[in-house]
Amino acid sequence: PVSGLPQPFYKSSRFPSPLSPHFSLSNQLISLSATMKVLAILYDGGKAAEEEPRLLGTVENELGIREFVESHGHEYIVTSDKEGPDSAFHKHIVDAEVLITTPFHPGYLTADLIKQAKNLKICITAGVGSDHVDLDTAVTHKIQVLEVSGSNVVSVAEHVVMSILLLVRNFVPAHEMIERGDWQVSQVARAAFDLEGKVVGTIGAGRIGYRVLQRLLPFDCKELLYYDYAALPAEASKAVRARRVEDLKEFVSQCDVVTVNCPLHDGTRGLVNTELLKHFKKGAWLVNTARGAICDKDAVAAAVSSGQLAGYAGDVWNVQPAPRDHVWRTMKNPLGGGNGMVPHYSGTTLDAQARYANGVKSILENYLKAHPQEPQNVIVGHGGYATKAYGQR
């Protein structure tokens, strides 16, 4: 495993290693003999990145791997310019062999782009969540997709717990009141509750979802629930006293707080929509740090403004960067609160950046040496999907 990562709670059988080999003779020849192009799509760090070298996931600090890539005789192109046919991403993808993208500023590798990318062999996600790659097309084009599994799962789990608390306790309007110079306790207390005694459920109980449950235990919630097509091992669910609910509508109808912690794939796109929101308890809170497109943008905004949801918080958006007029930036519940949205940063704390930068380097190192990859990092391997987390098939 990548050094410094927490050991996964689960045994490897839950995240089975693919039986297929992770390298081929043709890969060895290509990687070891020719100069290749490594293309990285990262976000602009600006002044902050110049002042803070630990902002490794930025265009300025280049994941800290330029010297490593160039010392092996390869070309390293780093850009944030990723949208449209004239972008640096679209221009360089046609002859890149390695693509590195970060979910925080995703280079959307569509089926069309994959067809143009004649040299592409491996996509590496600097972080966790590879939905920005058309995974089915990667499978058919025998392009490997890897991510640095586990690299930021604690970072996100902490953010989830914080977001649950800030919604339930009505923190944001209370802080805004203080900044305005006002002081009217009743106005914020009328929508503030304790987390103790509430029912909290996670959609997805993998690395992040499970860590959220672990962190919620000391809050003495009434019950912790999970909804996931993969059941937790008995020992794991017992340790967090979590009950599995197999029907999604039944699950949401029992929760005061729902947190979304599953990957984005065909089975989860738009999962939380107008129809499902009708089954939520009136005034429930919803936290989504998984992927914006799992929740229908307009359905969520309507549910918050009607009060069907008391609030929505998270850091992920259906398009990133989110447009200035995105309704999730400003939506409010009928009492003027209930919005805990931030830019996509829960999984990119400085601690997480060190881990995923290291992880990218070690995936690249394995690729260059034609060594097998760590099985838990492989989303698409040579034999197709190597994970069960991106949908049931």
Question: Contact residues for ligand NAD (CB under 6 A)?
Answer: 127-129, 152-153, 156, 203-209, 227-230, 261-264, 267-268, 289-291, 315-316, 344, 346-347, 389
84: left (phi over 0), alpha (psi -120 to 50) or beta: left
Q: How far is the CB of 67 from ligand NAD (least distance, A)?
A: 27
Residue closer to ligand NAD, measured from CB, 161 or 264: 264
Best CA proximity match to 167, nearest among 267, 296, 287: 287
Sequence letter at residue 370: A
Q: How far is the CB of 59 from ligand NAD (least distance, A)?
A: 18
What are the structure tokens assigned to 352, written together?
């997480």
Q: How far is the CB of 289 from ligand NAD (least distance, A)?
A: 4
Q: How far is the CB of 181 from ligand NAD (least distance, A)?
A: 34
Q: How far is the CB of 185 from ligand NAD (least distance, A)?
A: 33
Q: What angle do CA 274, 280, 286 make, to 5 degrees?
A: 85
Strand spans (E) along the chain:
37-41, 75-79, 98-101, 122-125, 144-147, 199-203, 223-227, 242-244, 257-260, 284-288, 309-314, 339-341, 378-381, 384-385
Length of the chain in terms of residues written = 393
Q: How far is the CB of 388 from ligand NAD (least distance, A)?
A: 6
The DSSP call for residue 116 is H
In DSSP terms, which residues pair with 295 in a beta bridge? 272
Residue closer to ligand NAD, measured from CB, 204 or 338: 204
Residue closer to ligand NAD, measured from CB, 288 or 339: 288
The DSSP call for residue 142 is T
CA 57 – CA 126 distance, rounded (Å): 8
CB within 8 Å of 95: residues ≥ 6 apart: 37, 118, 119
Residue closer to ligand NAD, measured from CB, 309 or 316: 316
CA 86 – CA 383 distance, rounded (Å): 33
Residue closer to ligand NAD, measured from CB, 216 or 368: 216
Residue closer to ligand NAD, measured from CB, 227 or 280: 227
Residue closer to ligand NAD, measured from CB, 338 or 347: 347
Residue closer to ligand NAD, measured from CB, 124 or 205: 205
Q: How far is the CB of 50 from ligand NAD (least distance, A)?
A: 23
- Give the residue closest to ligand NAD by C-beta: 206
CB within 8 Å of 285: residues ≥ 6 apart: 164, 167, 168, 256, 257, 258, 309, 310, 311, 312, 313, 338
Q: How far is the CB of 231 from ligand NAD (least distance, A)?
A: 9
Beta carbons within 10 angstroms of residue 305's beta carbon: 15
Point out the residues that are catalytic: 152, 291, 320, 344
Residue 287 CA to its chain's centroid (Å): 13
CA 60 – CA 65 distance, rounded (Å): 12
- Cα 296 to Cα 119, 241, 291, 352: the distances in Å are 36, 30, 11, 28
Best CA proximity match to 40, nearest among 17, 64, 18: 64
CA 291 – CA 281 distance, rounded (Å): 22
Best CA proximity match to 247, nearest among 282, 279, 207: 279
